[in-house]
Amino acid sequence: MMNAHVRTEASEAARPASSLLEVKNLTTEFRTERGTVRSLHSVSFGLGEGEALGLVGESGCGKSVTALSIMGLLPQPAGRIVSGEILFNGVDLTKLSDREMEAVRGKDIALIFQDALTSLNPVLTIERQITEAARRHLGLSPAAARRRAIEFLDLVGIPAPDKRISDYPHQFSGGMRQRVMIAMALVCGPRLLIADEPTTALDVTIQAQILELLQRLRKELSMALIMITHDLGVVAGIADRVNVMYAGHVVETGMVRQIFKNASHPYTAGLLGSIPKLDSIRGSKLQSIKGTPPDLANPPPGCPFTPRCSHAFDKCAEPPPRSSPEPAHAAECWLLEAGVNTADSRGLS
Amino acid sequence: MMNVHLMHNNSASNRPVLEVANLKKHFVIGKSFFGGKPLTKLKAVDGVSFAIGAGKTLGLVGESGCGKSTVGKTILRLYNPTEGSIRVLDQEISALKPKAMRDVRRSLQMIFQDPYASLDPQMTVGRIISEALEIHGLPKGQSHASRVKELLSLVGLDPVVANRRPKEFSGGQRQRIGIARALAVEPKVLVCDEPISALDVSIQAQVINLLQRLQDELGLTYLFIAHDLGVVRHFSDRVAVMYLGGIVEIADRDRLYADPLHPYTKALLSAIPVPDPDVEQQRRRILLRGELPSPLNPPLGCRFHTRCPFATDRCREEVPALVAVAPGQEVACHYWQELRGVEGRPNQSILETEK
């Protein structure tokens, strides 16, 4: 049964039937004082209409750079897309002019960040900020834009939206500001919402409110979602599919249950083992991953996880192929190629 | 004067190593222009009591602004307590002068959340650690260098790194340096203030494993302050839940997680995302309305009543005391018995009467 893996081309493993977004071999680099840093290495994935994709990984793994690349918001002039395609409804976003991209951004694809306070303009009322997008992208009159803004503030659970719309960002609490930012992102009815660590700065009870809200809105507005987070618990609750990223590579992709119940890449398994389980025995040792993530300016040859991997062997000095242990599930690891299932062997190491 | 030691008849090993009773820390916010009466009091910590036995860990959890970090800093006397008692190894330290406090800090040390801000970037790692030895008047010279090496190996770092500066280390390694510095004076009690929240998941696990090993090897007693209930559960013997400056529930770890009694504890536990899609898809979160009220103007009666789905008029008027309800479990709720086993079902009538 372990040998039932099938080698597939990079993007074929987990492609949904109708593709809203198709990222193909995306490679992004940054120029830094220490030379060129490759933040994304030929990243490929697809996203269907209304689907929720979780992008997980630790700091520097490339999950936010993926979002910025899609949005055309890479810091200039340091960051640039070296190669690859980002097809949104069949249109390659990397080929669009700044102006054309502006029309997509905020209208068809919206982005929300971790820190609502820095993404809202402190000297403008909420009304100005929400209606601006609605007027520009939807061509609404000021009165119609205001009505739509109030409707969306109500939708995200702001009490008394017709009054609060005249307030300034500082008059809202952290959780409420996050709601305002979500309303602002959604007001033009995007097909895709990218949420970059939207609940990381929030307390756990407020996080629960925002996660419920995103789940509800996704269904009500039948919108696709890319959820970027380091919190595997958040992903388990919201995502249909998960990409696990490490040092700029998508090392594993699969349906949410496949990732959590049958992790194939040693990094995914290590990440899951690092989290205290609810039934863990007090004082038991966590299965931590040794060492630290690689320096992206000077990555190891072959599989980027090799220096930290307890399964590493001589093959790992070469880039691993993408293998698919089951439909919709794929990982870049030589062990899979060799027919060894990491999920089975991880308890032994 | 230092030896206020009062050894009681009970065997010393059963006595708590750290004991806090009715601890209060109020901050005065602003003074009137002519220097008259203080304008507002922020009651960051308002009557907190707990005790930790030797070699044990108490987890102190709560959301931002609940006062958990202030409790830690007040115990270290980085803040002077407004009221209440702090006993460390049977010595009352709440009113000690700075010089006497320095001696106490040989037994009582702290690890901070931010490994980037808590290490002097100008000093080498060896200097950072040996400085702690000097301040506490420990033998100088050659023995310092060997002690530094010993401490670095103890926390899992290569002793050769003693010549390097903090910026050359990753977050997890810096946290190890911070732990080595705290351990330099061989303390008995460590106050860990969110020691892993700034770290990546795989690095968090390394630091948790390190802290556990050190506890086993050195018999350390921990006050572990954190907002992550999963980590606290893994790490603690007992857990205290704070809300707006007070403890609402304190219990042995397994009891608290298996049978939480306070509605806030229940909501908090139900809100933790669990890394298991099956659990996540079936669970029902108890969604609390609204957010933490301002500690400048805390609600009257039960502090939690503005967000509690079960609040009644009594809760709005009468402050519930923290009472023992089962062996090892105390809760501050008027209705803990009625609510036993009840999930946090929002009470519509209450939802409507309050905004």
Question: Cα–chain-centroid distance for residue B69?
Answer: 6
Please say if the pLDDT value at position A3 is more than 60. no
Query: Across all residues in chain B, what is the average pLDDT?
Result: 87
Query: Across all residues in chain A, what is the average pLDDT?
Result: 88
Q: Is residue B340 part of a domain?
A: yes
CA distances from B127 to A129, B111, B170 (A): 51, 18, 18
Phi-psi region of A222 (alpha: psi -120 to 50; beta: other; left: phi over 0): left
- Burial of A242 by CB count in 10 Å (0-12 exposed, 13-18 middle, 19+ buried)? buried
Q: At what angle do helices A126-138 and A142-155 cross, to 10 degrees?
A: 120
Residue in A205, A236, A292 nearest the CB of B276: A236
Averaged pLDDT, B72-83: 96
Please say if the pLDDT value at position B179 is more than 80. yes
Q: Do A276 and B231 touch (CB under 8 A)?
A: yes
Closest residue by Cα to residue A6 from A344, A346, A328, A251: A328
Residue A251 CB contacts under 8 Å (≥ 6 apart), including other chains: A244, A245, A265, A267, A268, A304, A305, A331, A332, A333
Q: Is residue B270 part of a domain?
A: yes
Buried b / exposed e along B188-211 (16+ C-beta atoms within 10 A): bbbbbbbbbebbbbbbbbbbbbbb
| Strand arrangement, sheet containing B108-111 | B108-111, B189-193, B221-226, B57-61, B238-243, B246-252, B329-331, B323-326
Q: At what angle do helices A126-138 and A174-186 cross, to 10 degrees?
A: 20
Return the HEC string of B172-237: HHHHHHHHHHHHCCCCCEEEEECCCCCCCHHHHHHHHHHHHHHHHHHCCEEEEEECCHHHHHHHCC
Averaged pLDDT, B58-74: 93
Q: What is the pLDDT of residue B307?
A: 93
CB atoms within 10 A of CB B224: 27
Please say if the pLDDT value at position B180 is more than 50. yes
* Half-sphere exposure of residue A47: CA atoms within 13 angstroms, side-chain side: 28
Q: Is B288 on the interface with A (CB under 8 A)?
A: yes
Please say if the pLDDT value at position A305 is more than 80. yes
Closest residue by Cα to residue A104 from A19, A183, A181, A191: A191
Give residue-wise pLDDT tens across range B217-251: 999 999 999 988 889 999 899 999 999 999 999 99
Question: Which structural domain, as residue segments, surrounds residue B284?
Answer: 261-354
Q: What is the pLDDT of residue A16?
A: 47
Tokens 């290590």 — which residue?
Answer: A270
Residue in A204, A274, A292 nearest the CB of B205: A274
Give residue-wise pLDDT tens across range B23-56: 999 998 776 666 666 678 889 999 999 999 999 9
B298 vs A238: CA distance, rounded Å: 34
Please say if the pLDDT value at position A14 is more than 80. no
Closest CA–CA distance from residue B305 to any residue of chain A (Å)? 15
Q: What is the pLDDT of residue B55?
A: 95
Residue B206 with chain A: CB contacts under 8 Å = 288-290
Reported as a pLDDT band with limits 50, 70 and 90, residue A164 is very high
Closest residue by Cα to residue B227 from B217, B241, B246, B209: B241
CB atoms within 10 A of CB A9: 8
B42 vs B59: CA distance, rounded Å: 24
| Residues 249-278, chain A, touching B (beta carbon < 8 A) | 256-257, 260-261, 270-278
Which chain B residue has its CA at the smallest distance from A237's CA? B280
Averaged pLDDT, A312-327: 93
Give residue-wise pLDDT tens across range B337-350: 999 877 654 443 33
Please say if the pLDDT value at position B19 is more than 80. yes
A245 vs B148: CA distance, rounded Å: 38
Please say if the pLDDT value at position A7 is more than 60. no
E strand or H helix at B40: strand B38-52
B285 vs A206: CA distance, rounded Å: 11
Averaged pLDDT, A301-306: 94
Q: What is the pLDDT of residue B4?
A: 39
CA distances from A83 to A41, A337, B64 (A): 10, 27, 43
Asked if residues B209 and B27 have their Cβ atoms less than 8 Å apart, the reply is no
A219 vs B355: CA distance, rounded Å: 27
| Residues 280-319, chain A, touching B (beta carbon < 8 A) | 280, 282-290, 292-293
B294 vs B275: CA distance, rounded Å: 32
Q: Which residue has the higher pLDDT, B38 or B156?
A: B156
Please say if the pLDDT value at position A348 is more than 60. no
Interface-testing mutation among B213, B262, B276, with chain A (most A C-beta atoms within 10 A): B276
Reported as a pLDDT band with limits 50, 70 and 90, residue B294 is confident
Give the number of domains in chain B.
1
Q: Which residue has the higher pLDDT, B132 or A56?
A: A56
Q: Is residue B159 part of a domain?
A: no
Q: What is the pLDDT of residue A338?
A: 81
Q: Is residue B286 part of a domain?
A: yes
ipTM of the complex: 0.82
Please say if the pLDDT value at position B272 is more than 50. yes
Residue A292 CB contacts under 8 Å (≥ 6 apart), including other chains: A308, B170, B172, B173, B203
Q: Is residue B33 part of a domain?
A: no
| Residues 180-219, chain B, touching A (beta carbon < 8 A) | 200-206, 208-209, 212, 216
Closest CA–CA distance from residue B98 to any residue of chain A (Å)? 35
Q: Is B173 on the interface with A (CB under 8 A)?
A: yes
Which chain B residue has its CA at the smallest distance from A205's CA? B271
Contacts for B266-270: CB closer than 8 Å, 24+ residues apart: B266/B343, B266/B344, B267/A205, B267/B344, B268/A204, B268/A205, B268/B61, B268/B63, B268/B229, B268/B241, B269/B229, B270/A208, B270/B343, B270/B344
Q: What is the pLDDT of residue B279?
A: 87
Q: Please state the pTM of the whole predicted model.
A: 0.86
Q: What is the pLDDT of residue B341?
A: 74
Which chain B residue has its CA at the smallest distance from A61's CA? B200
Q: Is B78 on the interface with A (CB under 8 A)?
A: no
- Residue count of chain A, please give it: 349
Averaged pLDDT, B163-185: 92
Measured between alpha carbons, how far apart are the two ends of chain A, in Å? 22
* Half-sphere exposure of residue B324: CA atoms within 13 angstroms, side-chain side: 6
* Half-sphere exposure of residue B171: CA atoms within 13 angstroms, side-chain side: 19
Q: Do B274 and A234 touch (CB under 8 A)?
A: no
Give residue-wise pLDDT tens across range A201-218: 888 888 988 999 999 999
Give residue-wise pLDDT tens across range A235-258: 999 999 999 999 999 999 999 999
Q: Is B3 on the interface with A (CB under 8 A)?
A: no
Q: Is residue B228 part of a domain?
A: no
Q: Is residue B312 part of a domain?
A: yes
Amino acid code (one letter) for B82 = T
* Half-sphere exposure of residue B158: CA atoms within 13 angstroms, side-chain side: 6
| Residues 110-169, chain A, touching B (beta carbon < 8 A) | 159
Averaged pLDDT, A172-190: 91
B203 vs B294: CA distance, rounded Å: 34
Closest CA–CA distance from residue A114 to any residue of chain B (Å)? 15
Q: Is residue B222 part of a domain?
A: no
Share above pLDDT 90 across residues of chain A, in percent, rounded to a whole number:
71
Tokens 């892993």 — which residue?
Answer: B196
Residue in A212, A260, A284 nearest the CB of B276: A260
Q: What is the pLDDT of residue B210?
A: 94
Averaged pLDDT, B186-214: 92
Q: Which residue has the higher pLDDT, A286 or B35?
A: A286
Closest residue by Cα to residue B53 from B257, B241, B222: B222
Asked if residues A192 and A47 have their Cβ atoms less than 8 Å apart, the reply is yes
Give residue-wise pLDDT tens across range A46-96: 999 999 999 999 988 999 999 999 999 999 889 999 999 999 999 999 999
Q: What is the pLDDT of residue A278?
A: 66
Q: What is the pLDDT of residue A149?
A: 96
